[in-house]
Amino acid sequence: EILREQLKSRNIRTYVTVDAGYFEALEVNTFVSLMRIIDHAHQDIPLAAVMKSALCGFTSDELVCIRAFAGVDTAFCDAVRLYEAEGPDRELRKKVESFLKDYEAIRSMNLNRDIDRVIEAIYDRTGFYLYCAALPGGERRASNLDMLMTYAAQYEAGQSSGLFSFVRYIEQ
């Protein structure tokens, strides 16, 4: 990264080839977790990761409150829904309600085609792209998110399409 910045300061263009670490980048990992829960809601770890991320902004304490309210025998996705309906902390309940409203709006999109457009619409709806671009290393982070859209477009140019298939492809 330092070398890249030095080259950039001298107006020397650079590019980086993608390796396996690409999918471990925070912004990509977070967004892939979001796609996983959009594809299949009952995935507790990706759900907690998305809720804790900058996409949603839940604190660890809030996630613990949601979990504790529903009990350990309840799936976390069910705990979130239960907390929205009956949780004792009104402010946290509103936050959960807002998250679920956005989540359901995203799930209501046509997820069976034009996944790159769906990704772009999610970037716009959540502000996640702009948030990542404003972070330190924002240009690289934005490029990573752009590359995810490019992967989606290339994937759909092949024989498969839809969010379900694309998520499976990314996981492999």
Three-state SS for the chain is CHHHHHHHHCCCCCCCCCCHHHHHCHHHHHHHHHHHHHHCCCCHHHHHHHHHCCCCCCCHHHHHHHHHHHCCCCCHHHHHHHHHHHCCCHHHHHHHHHHHHHHHHHHCCCCCCCHHHHHHHHHHHHCHHHHHHHCCCHHHHHHHHHHHHHHHHHHHHCCCCCHHHHHHHHHC
Nearest to 148 by CA among 108, 112, 119, 118: 119
Query: Is the model more confident about 171 or about 42?
Result: 42
In the predicted model, is pLDDT for residue 11 greater than 50? yes
Winning range, highest mean pLDDT, from 7-16, 93-102, 162-171: 93-102
Q: What is the pLDDT of residues 120-137, one digit of tens each?
A: 888 998 899 999 999 999
Q: What is the pLDDT of residues 87-146, one digit of tens each?
A: 999 999 999 999 999 999 988 887 777 888 888 888 998 899 999 999 999 999 999 999
Q: What is the pLDDT of residues 16-49, one digit of tens each?
A: 544 547 767 889 989 999 989 988 889 999 999 9
Give the amino acid at 120: E
pLDDT of 18 = 47
Contact predicate 146/138, CB 8 Å:
no
pLDDT of 118 = 86
Contact predicate 86/98, CB 8 Å:
no
In the predicted model, is pLDDT for residue 64 greater than 50? yes
137 dihedral zone (left: phi>0; alpha: psi -120 to 50; beta)? left
Determine the straight-line distance between the first and last CA of the chain, rounded to whole angstroms: 27
Mean pLDDT check: name the lowest of 17-26, 64-73, 152-161.
17-26
Contact predicate 171/165, CB 8 Å:
no
pLDDT of 94 = 97
User: Across residues 56-64, what is the average pLDDT?
Assistant: 95
Percent of the chain with pLDDT over 70: 90
